Structure 1
Amino acid sequence: MKKHVFMILAHNNPEYLNRMVSMLDAPNHFFIVHIDKKNELLLEHSAITLLKEKKNCTVFSEVSVNWGGLTQVLATLALVRKALNSEDHYDYFHLISGCDLPLVSATEMDRMVENDSIKGYVGLVEMDWSGLRKLSSRYRLFHFNDFADRRNHNLKTILCRSIEMAEKVFSKIGVYPRCDLKMPVYKGSQWWSLSRDVICYVDDFLKDHPKYIKRFQWTSCIDEIFFHTIVFNSPFASVIEKNNHRYIDWRKLSKKDKPPRILTEDAIPEIEKGCFWFARKTDPKKSELLIKYFEEKVKG
């Protein structure tokens, strides 16, 4: 039976983390949780203490994560390396967030990845030339998500946004301050499930190409590019299913909506139409009926 490790990026809702782990718990399932360093006081929360007491669960805090910044990737790499350095030899690595909802039982999860001819599940977005050109602005322009908090309106943020706006003007006439990547670029969902073979390939690639990480400093939302570009330029590209089996609602039904939308019980019919392993994002208050529905279903 394959060993699964669920690598969880979390920053809040410690009680819900316990519920999520409980839904996925099994003798061959392991959990590594990264708590955003900005919220590292959560490590002292009673719910997190309970997680740390579990033999199959590791909780740590290493990276202060900023939306859209390279720090999102660095936190993921911290999880990957913690998993690879474990004495347990994990066969499958699942990247999920602290607001994901498991949709299948542990037994069903095991069954889903028994096919050794498939080495991973990664959501991929097919793009035409104009889409690729727009995507390139994420890494060919300078972005300051890890330097200035966009939610604040202080002088530092105003200065950074002014530079970004000036860059966008030049990019419209094809003038970029940074060169393109030296390999085809792929984009998809941040959340994936990969076999050990692929994870080891990614780790070796980064050790052999240290400039790859440095190239993504001062970029924006490259968590949707970083791993995908390595994986789909690798020998494993043909044996990766281009579907990460995550249900995510990107619709913007009102001006107040900030996709991905927080899911409620209204999403149940759509979720059950497809072959999904996780749904996101959830909020323990707004999504309680949805969470309870799948808790009962998953635990049987």
Structure 2
Amino acid sequence: MESYKLKNLVWSNYIETRNNGNNADILQATINHFNSDKIDFFVHWDKKWAQPTLCAKGSQIIMIENPLRVQWGTDSQIRLEELLFEKVRTVDKKYDYVHLISANDLPLMTKGLLYKLFYKQFIPRFC
């Protein structure tokens, strides 16, 4: 079997919680942890809250320009995922994988372990 080298990965982040909408500390910590020219972040920040200022040195951070008001357990969650996927598809860079997480989720693996997992276990599915 031919080995596959991971080219690009995107973490799509969204926030929909009521209490943490004005705090992007966990999301910024995730960006800092996975900061790399191979990992970009597409961020949907709920329309209820002011957009945060996020920064990265290697990763690109792409904010969804017209965010939705998202409510837990409604179709708005599906619509925001559609917005994220559509944004990923329309940028010039091509990605091998898209991973959806909440802005309140802090990954517990290292960047090296993440690369190793994708190198060995997954075949590219997103284009």
The TM-score, its normalising length taken from structure 1, stands at: 0.36
Unmatched 5+ stretches in structure 2: 1-5
| 2:37 match | 27
**Separation in 2 of the partners of 1:115 and 1:109?**
10
| Cα separation, partners in 2 of 1:58 and 1:24, compared to 1, 3 Å | same
Instruction: Give the deviation of 1:77 after TM superposition.
Output: 0.6
Aligned length: 116
Match status 1:195 vs 2:125: yes
| Cα separation, partners in 2 of 1:55 and 1:107, compared to 1, 3 Å | closer
Q: Which amino acid is 1:26 matched to?
A: S
Taking only the aligned residue pairs, the percentage that are identical comes to: 26
Question: Which piece of structure 1 moves more, 51-60 or 2-11?
Answer: 51-60
Pick from 6, 9, 14: which aligns with 2:14? 9
Q: Which amino acid is 1:74 matched to?
A: R
Higher relative contact order structure (alpha carbons within 8 Å, sequence separation ≥ 6): 2
| 2:53 match | 49
**Separation in 2 of the partners of 1:28 and 1:78?**
22
Deviations 1:211-247 (CA, angstroms, capped at 9, x unpaired): xxxxxxxxxxxxxxxxxxxxxxxxxxxxxxxxxxxxx
Match status 1:112 vs 2:112: no
Structure 1 segment 23-102 matched on structure 2, within 5 A: 23-39=33-49, 41=50, 43=51, 48-51=52-55, 56-60=60-64, 61-102=66-107
**Separation in 1 of the partners of 2:10 and 2:97?**
6
**Separation in 1 of the partners of 2:58 and 2:35?**
10
| Cα separation, partners in 2 of 1:64 and 1:52, compared to 1, 3 Å | farther
Asked whether the equivalents of residues 46 and 67 of structure 2 are also in contact (C-alpha less than 8 Å), the reply is yes
| 2:3 match | none
**Separation in 1 of the partners of 2:11 and 2:114?**
11
**Separation in 1 of the partners of 2:118 and 2:31?**
19
Which one has the bigger strand percentage?
Answer: 2
Q: Which amino acid is 1:89 matched to?
A: K
**Separation in 1 of the partners of 2:47 and 2:33?**
26
Instruction: Give the deviation of 1:106 after TM superposition.
Output: 1.2
Unmatched 5+ stretches in structure 1: 120-193, 201-300
The TM-score, its normalising length taken from structure 2, stands at: 0.80
Q: Which amino acid is 2:61 matched to?
A: C
Instruction: Give the deviation of 1:53 after TM superposition.
Output: 8.7
Structure 1 segment 252-291 matched on structure 2, within 5 A: none
**Separation in 2 of the partners of 1:37 and 1:88?**
26
**Separation in 1 of the partners of 2:56 and 2:46?**
16
Q: Which amino acid is 1:30 matched to?
A: D
Instruction: Give the deviation of 1:89 after TM superposition.
Output: 0.6
Q: Which amino acid is 1:36 matched to?
A: D
| Cα separation, partners in 2 of 1:104 and 1:90, compared to 1, 3 Å | same
| 1:168 match | none
| Cα separation, partners in 2 of 1:52 and 1:25, compared to 1, 3 Å | closer
| Cα separation, partners in 2 of 1:52 and 1:65, compared to 1, 3 Å | farther
Structure 1 segment 228-239 matched on structure 2, within 5 A: none
Instruction: Give the deviation of 1:54 after TM superposition.
Output: 7.2
